[in-house]
A and B are shown apart, each in its own frame.
Chain A
Amino acid sequence: MTHRYIKIGATAVVLVGALAGLMWSTLREGTEYFKNIDEVVTNRPAWEGKRLQLHGYVVPGTWVQRPNSLDYKFKVQNNPARQTTSGGVVDASYTGILPDTFKDEAEVVLKGKFGPEGFHVEPNGVMAKCPSKYEAAAKSASAGS
Chain B
Amino acid sequence: MASLGSFLLLAAFVVCSYAAVVSVVGARRRSRRLIESGVGAFYLIAAIMSVASAVMINAFLTDDYSIKYVAHYSDNVQPLFYKITSYWGGLDGSIMFWVFLLSVFGAIAVYVNRERHRELIPYVVATISTVQMFFLYLMVVHKNPFTTFLTNAPADGQGLNPLLQNYWMAIHPPSLYTGFVGMTIPFAFCIAALITGHLDDSWLRAVRRWTMFAWLFLTFGLTLGMIWAYEVLGWGGYWGWDPVENAGLLPWFTATAFLHSVMVQERRSMLRVWNVTLVITTFFLTIFGTFMTRSGVVQSIHAFGEDPMLSRLFTGFMVIILTFSFGLVIYRLPLLKARNELDSWMSREAAFLVNNWILLFSALFVLFGTMFPTLSEAIVGERLTVAGPFFNKWMVPIGLVLLLLTGVGPMLAWRKSTIRNVVDQFLWSTVAAVAGGGLVVALGVRLWSSGLCFALCAFVTGTIVQEFWRGALVRRKNTGTDLLTAVIGLVGRNKRRYGGYIVHLGIVLIFLGFAGNGSKKEEYLQLKLGGQATIGAFTVRNDGVKVSDDGQKQMVTAYIAVFKDGKRIDSMYPSRAVFHKHENEEARSDPAIRRSLAEDLYLVLAPDTDFGTQTIWLQAFVNPLVDWVWLGFGVLAFGTGIALLPERAYSFALAKMPAEVATGAITLLLLVALGTTRLSAQMHVPGATGSIPPVKNALEEQLREEMGCLCGGCAHEALNKCTCSTAQTMREQLRAQIDQGKRHDEIVQALVGVYGGQHFLTAPIDKGFNRVAWLFPYVMAAIGVTAIGFAAVKWSRHTDAQPPTFTATANPDLDERIDDELRDLD
Residues of A within 8 A of B (CB): 26-27, 29-34, 53, 65, 68-70, 96-101, 111, 124, 130, 132-133, 136-145
- In the complex the two chains form, what is the Cα distance from A15 to B289 in whole Å? 28
B177 CB–A CB distance under 8 Å: yes
User: How many residue pairs, one in A and one in B, have C-beta atoms under 8 Å apart?
Assistant: 128
Q: Does B728 contact A (CB under 8 A)?
A: no
Stretch at the interface among B86-94, B423-431, B639-647, B745-753: B86-94
Identity of the chain B residue whose Cβ is nearest the Cβ of A99 in the assembled complex:
B586
Chain A CB within 8 A of B393 CB: yes
Identify which of residues 581-631 in chain B touch chain A, using a CB-to-CB cut-off of 8 Å: 582, 584-587, 604, 606-608, 617, 619
Contacts A70-B608, A144-B293 known; A31 to B73 CB distance under 8 Å?
A: no
Q: Closest residue of chain B to A25, judged by CB? A: B393
Most buried by A among B289, B306, B383: B383
The answer to whether A139 and B72 touch across the interface, beta carbons within 8 angstroms, is: yes
Task: Answer whether residue B386 sits at the interface, using C-beta atoms and an 8 A cutoff.
Answer: yes
Q: State the CA gap A138–B587 with chains docked (Å).
A: 18
A-B contact pairs, 5 of them (CB 8 A): A53-B385, A97-B607, A141-B94, A143-B89, A144-B245
Tell whether, in the assembled complex, residue A140 and residue B161 are in contact, meaning their CB atoms are under 8 Å apart. yes
Contact flag A31-B384 (CB < 8 Å), given A136-B161, A144-B293: yes
| B586 adjacent to A145 (CB under 8 Å) | no
**Which residues of B lie under 8 Å from residue A142 when comparing CB positions?**
164, 244, 293, 301-304
Which single member of B160, B302, B385 contacts A32 (CB below 8 Å)? Answer: B385
On whether the beta carbons of A30 and B390 are closer than 8 Å, the reply is: yes
Task: A143-B176, A145-B293 given; name 19 further pairs at CB < 8 Å.
Answer: A27-B386, A27-B390, A32-B386, A97-B524, A99-B607, A100-B607, A101-B586, A132-B585, A138-B305, A139-B90, A141-B94, A142-B293, A142-B301, A143-B169, A144-B245, A145-B177, A145-B180, A145-B244, A145-B247
B88 to chain A: which residues have CB within 8 Å? 143
A101 vs B582: C-alpha distance when bound (angstroms): 12
Q: Which of B47-103 contact A (CB under 8 A)?
A: 72-73, 88-91, 94
| Cα of A97 to Cα of B225 in the assembled complex, Å | 24
The residue of chain B having its C-beta at the shortest distance from the C-beta of A30 within the complex is B390
Chain B: interface residue total (CB-CB under 8 A): 59
Q: Does B504 contact A (CB under 8 A)?
A: no
Q: Are A30 and B386 in contact (CB under 8 A)?
A: yes
Contacts of B604 in A (CB 8 A): 97
B91 contacts which chain A residues (CB < 8 A)? 141
B373 at the A/B interface (Cβ < 8 Å)?
yes
User: Do residues B382 and A33 form an inter-chain contact, with CB atoms below 8 A?
Assistant: yes
The answer on a CB contact under 8 Å between B617 and A32 is: no
- Residues on the A chain within 8 Å of B245, using CB: 144
Task: Give the residue of A34, A111, A132 whose beta carbon is less than 8 angstroms from that of B584.
Answer: A132
Question: What is the distance, in angstroms, from B144's C-beta to the closest C-beta of chain A?
Answer: 15
Report the Cα distance A139→B584, complex, angstroms.
Answer: 15
Q: Is the CB of A133 within 8 A of B524?
A: no
Contact B386–A141 (Cβ < 8 Å) = no
- Complex: how many Å from CA A88 to CA B811? 74
Contact A70 B524 (CB under 8 A): yes
Residue of A nearest to B290 (CB): A145
- Give the CA-CA distance A53 to B384 in the complex, in Å: 9
In the bound assembly, the distance between CA atoms of A100 and B180 in angstroms comes to 35
**Do B177 and A141 have beta carbons less than 8 Å apart?**
no
Instruction: Give CA–CA (A33, B210) in the complex, Å.
Output: 43
Cβ–Cβ < 8 Å partners of B164 in chain A: 140-143
Q: Bound state CA distance, A26 and B386, in angstroms?
A: 10
- CA of A53 to CA of B386, assembled, Å: 11
Are B90's CB and A141's CB within 8 A? yes
> In the complex, A65→B610 CA distance in Å?
13
Q: Does B293 contact A130, Cβ atoms closer than 8 Å? A: no
Verify B384–A34 contact, CB threshold 8 A: yes
Residues of A within 8 A of B289 (CB): 145
Contacts of A145 in B (CB 8 A): 173, 176-177, 180, 221, 244, 247-248, 289-290, 293
B385 near A31: Cβ-Cβ < 8 Å: yes
Contact residue among A53, A98, A111, A139 (Cβ-Cβ distance under 8 Å from B607): A98
Neighbour of B173 across the interface among A130, A137, A144, CB < 8 A: A144
B-side contacts of A27, CB under 8 Å: 386, 390
CB contact between B89 and one of A29, A31, A133, A141 (< 8 Å): that residue: A141
Interface-central residue, A31, A53, A97, A130, by most chain B CB under 10 Å: A97
Enumerate chain A residues within 8 angstroms of B585, measured Cβ to Cβ.
101, 130, 132-133, 136
Q: Are A33 and B383 neighbours in the complex by a CB distance under 8 Å?
A: yes
CA distance A124 to B390 in the complex (A): 17
On chain B, the residues within 8 Å of A96 by CB distance are 524
Residues of A within 8 A of B393 (CB): 26, 30
Contacts of A138 in B (CB 8 A): 304-306
Query: What 7 pairs between A and B have smallest CB-CB spacing?
Result: A138-B305, A142-B302, A30-B390, A143-B173, A144-B244, A34-B383, A132-B584
Q: Which residue of A lies closest to B244 (CB)?
A: A144
Q: Let me know if B173 and A124 touch, CB within 8 A.
A: no
B495 to chain A minimum Cβ distance, whole angstroms, is 30
Complex CA distance for A100 and B589, rounded to whole angstroms: 10
Known A100-B587, A139-B305: A68·B526 in contact at CB below 8 Å: yes
Instruction: Scan B751-783; emit 1 where CB is below 8 A from any A CB, else 0.
Output: 000000000000000000000000000000000
Q: Are A143 and B160 also in contact (CB < 8 A) when A34-B383, A133-B585, A138-B305 are?
A: no
Instruction: Give the chain B neighbours of A124 by CB distance below 8 A.
Output: 235
B172 at the interface (CB under 8 A from A): yes
A27 to chain B, nearest CB (A): 7
CA distance A26 to B393 in the complex (A): 8
B439 in contact (CB, < 8 A): no
Instruction: Tell me if B533 counts as interface (CB < 8 A to partner A).
Output: no
Determine the distance from Cα of A30 to Cα of B241 in the docked complex, in whole angstroms. Answer: 14
- Does B389 lie at the interface of the complex (its beta carbon under 8 Å from any beta carbon of A)? yes
Instruction: Write out the residue numbers on chain B whose beta carbons fall within 8 Å of the beta carbon of A132.
Output: 584-585
Interface string of B356-387 (1 = CB under 8 A from A): 00000000000000001100100000111111
Complex Cα spacing A26 to B584, Å: 39
Given A27-B390, A124-B235, A144-B248; A137-B89 close (CB under 8 Å): no
Asked if B469 is an interface residue, CB under 8 A from chain A, the answer is no
The verdict on B394 contacting chain A, using a C-beta distance below 8 Å, is yes
| CA–CA, A33 and B377, complex, Å | 11
Provide the bound-state CA to CA distance between A4 and B177, in Å: 45
Chain A residues contacting B607 (CB-CB under 8 Å) are 97-100
**Chain B residue contacts of A140, Cβ below 8 A:** 90, 161, 164, 302, 304
Residue of B nearest to A128 (CB): B586
CB <8 Å contact, A100 and B387: no
Over the window 278-316 of chain B, the binary record of Cβ atoms lying under 8 Å from chain A Cβ atoms (1 yes, 0 no) is 000000000001100100000001111110000000000
Q: Which residues of B contact A65 (CB under 8 A)?
A: 608
Q: How far is the CA of A97 from the CA of B173 in the complex (A)?
A: 30
Q: Nearest Cβ distance between residue A94 and chain B, in whole angstroms?
A: 12
Instruction: With CB as the reference atom, state the residue of chain A lying closest to B385.
Output: A32
Nearest B residue to A53, CB-CB = B385
What residues on B are CB-neighbors of A32 within 8 Å? 384-387
A130 and B584 CA atoms in complex are apart in Å by 8
Closest to B299 in A: A34
Q: Is the CB of A34 within 8 A of B373?
A: yes
CB contacts under 8 Å to A, within B158-196, are 160-161, 164, 169, 172-173, 176-177, 180
Shortest distance from the beta carbon of A8 to any chain B beta carbon, whole Å: 12
Q: How far is the CB of B61 from chain A (nearest CB, A)?
A: 18
Q: Which residues of A contact B526 (CB under 8 A)?
A: 68-70
Tell me the complex Cα distance, A8–B759, Å.
67
Docked CA distance A28–B104 (Å): 48
Cα–Cα, bound, A65→B524 (Å): 15
- In the complex, are the beta carbons of B305 and A97 less than 8 A apart? no
Which residues from B are CB-within-8-Å of A97?
A: 524, 604, 606-608, 617, 619
A141 touches B586 (CB 8 A): no
Given that A70-B524, A97-B606, A97-B619 are contacting pairs, would A143 and B172 also be in contact in the complex, using a CB cutoff of 8 Å? yes
Nearest B residue to A31, CB-CB: B384
